[in-house]
Structure 1
Amino acid sequence: MLTKLLKYEIKATGRMFLPIFLSLLVFAVINKILSVFDNQSWQIPSKISMVFYVIIMAGMFVMTLTVMIQRFYKNLLSDEGYLMYTLPVKSWKHILSKLLVSMLWMIASVIAAMISIEIISYKQGTLGKIIQGLAVFHNQVTGYLGAPAYLLILELILGGLITLASGILMVYTSIAIGHLFSRHKIIVSFGAFIALNTITQIYIILACRIPKIVHSVNIVFYNVTSNDFFRLELIFMYGLILIGIPCASYFAATNFILSKRLNLE
């Protein structure tokens, strides 16, 4: 059933995102073509095209955030919630489907933005230099630590995904808390978001100040040798657990509210 929810969510949101992605890339190509012409008569069309490109870029990220909030609120906490909860699906699957699709479009927006920037700034040989630079970086890290660099890169990517999920779930939890109240739901949700964000920041600061952890981090990052690779792995694992705890907590809190304390009035 989770697969069906994901397909439905992607289909419902894709019709909004795909056109804006296409528009962004089209204007990136137009800007690249116009930049080739040095004639004064092409300056105004080039500036107008760039303005549209910037507007679309900004609108894409604003829409990503807006859709993330709207889909969660509208489908699960508004009148549509009565229909959604008649489906034989547990609350955590609804939350997970919204989370995964929101992450999908956020990552896709970043990739689309990077591709469009690369199109505008592209020069012959640029792609080859990027690939060569990545190869050199991989070889240096591998030779320095005695382990493939892609392992660390994968862990960094995983950490980024957990951090992204945690941020989205924080928003979901804030909205769910707001709907525990019959009045001033938006104000309560905003206050809950500030409170959760503050608590999370305090938690991370305190967790990073554990004496043994700080000592190990200083040893690893200021005196790294191939023998320290295992210790570096432990630091990365600790970091993943550190950011994973609030992520799991937000998911559990949102699921509890939607399952046990849901208020659609």
Structure 2
Amino acid sequence: MLIHLFKYEIKSIFRQLLPFYAALILFALLEKVFYIMQMPTIMSFTALFHVLIIAAVMVFTLVVITRRFYSNFFSNEGYLTFTLPVKTWELIISKLIAALLFAFTGMLLTFATVFFLFVTINPDLLAGVQFPFSTITPDDMLNLTTHFAAFIYGTLMYDATAILIIYASVSIGHLSREHSIFCAFAAFFGLFIFGQIFSFILGANYYVTSLLLCGIFFIITNYILSHRLNLA
């Protein structure tokens, strides 16, 4: 059942974000076309739209993730969600994994389109770069792999913390049925400040504090959904 929930979540989010992904690729290609045609004025406009779409992808990804979480748990759809033969924490995990996947996909696609433009429009950037693969030692490969793994892990932890703080804020906000939106925003700022103070006091490694904060936000969300949820 958990696999089916995950697949359903992936399909639902992908349908909403696909137009933004397509627009991101389209305007990157248009920039390249207008560069080849030597039309700098039009190219500058497409570059502006490209930047705006990058921002839209980041913002709308968070909007979709938040809206999916709210509609699945706190709207009329919540009655159906909680009749499924899965535990609450499994529902949260399935949504978190799907959200992380698309947050990372948006970042990767943004980097790919920008890198494509820099390399194709400004080939001189790589003209003087040498890639002495034959001289790379096993220690160099190990260091490179370690840094890359640390980057991926750090990005995922940052995204997970951001997503879980949204989940916790929406859950706290729903405890007040009359002022749920205001309380959700207040909860977000409160949890954000708490996270900063927590990180400062703990003074540990970023990855450790992020993992602990993810656990705290997850516990808050799971507790509210399991014990304090009122859909009446």
Structure 1 and Structure 2 fold alike (TM over 0.5): yes
Q: When the two structures are aligned, how many residues end up with a matched partner?
A: 229
Counterpart of 1:132?
131
Q: Post-superposition shift, 1:254?
A: 0.5
**Structure-2 separation of matches of 1:129 and 1:180:** 59
- In structure 1, stretches of 5+ residues that fail to align are 214-237
Does residue 84 (structure 1) correspond to residue 51 (structure 2)? The answer is no
**Structure-1 separation of matches of 2:159 and 2:128:** 30
Contact 2:16 2:64 in 1 (8 A): no
Counterpart of 1:261?
228
**Structure-2 separation of matches of 1:36 and 1:83:** 54
Counterpart of 2:212?
245
Q: 1:130 to 1:68 in 2, by over 3 A?
A: farther
**Structure-1 separation of matches of 2:117 and 2:144:** 30
Contact 2:5 2:94 in 1 (8 A): yes
Does residue 21 (structure 1) correspond to residue 21 (structure 2)? The answer is yes
Counterpart of 2:54?
57
Counterpart of 2:91?
94
TM-score normalised to structure 2 length: 0.87
Q: Post-superposition shift, 1:61?
A: 1.5
TM-score normalised to structure 1 length: 0.77
Counterpart of 2:188?
193
**Structure-2 separation of matches of 1:12 and 1:147:** 39
> Mapping of 1:80-159 within 5 angstroms?
80-123=77-120, 124=123, 132=131, 142=139, 148-159=143-154
Q: 1:117 to 1:197 in 2, by over 3 A?
A: same
Contact 1:29 1:119 in 2 (8 A): no
The residue type paired with residue 46 of structure 2 is S
1:31-82 Cα distance to aligned partner (Å, 9 max, x none) = 01211233xxx34432333333233222211211110110000111111101
Aligned residues: CA RMSD: 2.7
Counterpart of 1:218?
none
Query: Aligned to 2:195, what secondary structure does the other structure show?
Result: helix
**Structure-1 separation of matches of 2:170 and 2:127:** 46
- Structure whose CA Rg is larger: 1
Q: Post-superposition shift, 1:28?
A: 0.5
- In structure 2, stretches of 5+ residues that fail to align are none
